[in-house]
Amino acid sequence: MAVKAKKISKAEQLARLKTEFTETERIILSRRSVRLYTEEQVPEFMVKRILEAGRFAPSAGNSQPWKFVVLRDPDMMNGIADTVVKLCKMLRVTMDYRREGFQWLRPFTKFWTRLRYNDLHWVPLGAACLIAEGKLGLWHGAPTVILIFKDVRGVSNPDLDCGIAGQNMVLAAHSMGLGTCWVGFVRPAFEYTGKWRRSLGIEFPYKFANSIAIGWPKGEPDGMVGRQTHATDWYEYGTKKTIY
């Protein structure tokens, strides 16, 4: 199947852009994280196409510092999810000061959240407590998962490259009518135990970067939502303006 760009004149293209979003913009703007899936499996050829979208991502020095692993084995997926639940339970016991009689934990929790701000920020910590209580699923019942492992020897910033490859796959999946959700919460299963790294044969130089749940969405979760605007500074020929 050849990838052919449609030829239209520049004037026609500009006129169109003034009134219409491109297909790519429409996918980007309407993509939502999907947390409810049907049980129907994603056809293999679609997953392969999604992987191709990842493979074609740009990367620093073209180092392509990633390894993709496709999971469609319910026993394995449940096993990894169980490991995460166990680890979240341990985290909850040691850090959740909101429980009755555990307020004394508060200074320790605050200390750790300051020390490891990104990992133990209140959003992941709150989500970890929900996972421990069985109130938040890991891959939300998606039948296919792509695990992204980074090659730690990658040029510059392999995490960033993996993120770009991952988002290529996410957008490709949504363009096919599928739903996806990035699920970073799997990390403890690969970072704090060796069991799943061994099961999947993940060795140096690969380290867990992130994962993407993929499946057919229940209902129609995609659609545009309001989004916080961030100021953008714009410098041009000696002047500065701020746009939103």
Ligand X SMILES: Cc1cc2nc3c(=O)[nH]c(=O)nc-3n(C[C@H](O)[C@H](O)[C@H](O)COP(=O)(O)O)c2cc1C
3-state secondary structure of 185: helix
Measured from the CB atom, the residue of 107 and 126 that comes closer to ligand X is 126
Our finding on whether 43 is near ligand X (CB under 6 A) is: no
Whose Cβ is closer to ligand X: residue 32's or residue 67's?
A: 32
Task: Name which of 43 and 184 has its Cβ closer to ligand X.
Answer: 184
Residues 159-198 that bind ligand X (CB under 6 A): 181-185
- The residue among 105 and 137 lying less far from ligand X, judged by its C-beta, is 137
For the CB of residue 152, give the shortest distance to ligand X in the complex, in Å: 18
Report yes or no: 50 and 144 within 8 Å, Cβ to Cβ: no
Nearest residue (CB) to ligand X, 28 versus 155? 28
Report CA-CA distances (Å) from 231 to 29, 72, 227, 228, 240.
18, 42, 13, 10, 12
Shortest distance, CB of residue 104 to ligand X, whole angstroms?
A: 29
CB 154 within 8 A of CB 60: yes
Query: Taking CB under 6 A as the criterion, which residues in 16-35 touch ligand X?
Result: 32-33, 35
Minimum Å gap between C-beta 88 and ligand X is 11
Residue 14: phi and psi, rounded to 5, are: -65, -40
Residue 53 three-state SS: helix
Shortest reach from residue 182's CB to ligand X, in Å: 4
Shortest approach of ligand X to residue 32 CB, angstroms? Answer: 4
What backbone phi and psi angles, to 5 degrees, belong to 162? -65, -35
Spatial CA neighbour of 128 closest among 181, 79, 185, 190: 185
Vertex 172 angle, CA 167 and 175, to 5°:
125
* Shorter beta-carbon distance to ligand X: residue 60 or 171: 171
Cβ neighbour number for residue 180 with a 10 Å cutoff:
28
Total residues contacting ligand X (rule CB under 6 A)? 9
Question: Contact at 8 Å (CB) between 212 and 182?
Answer: yes
Whole-number minimum distance, CB 168 to ligand X, in Å? 13
Residues found near ligand X in the complex (CB under 6 A): 32-33, 35, 181-185, 210
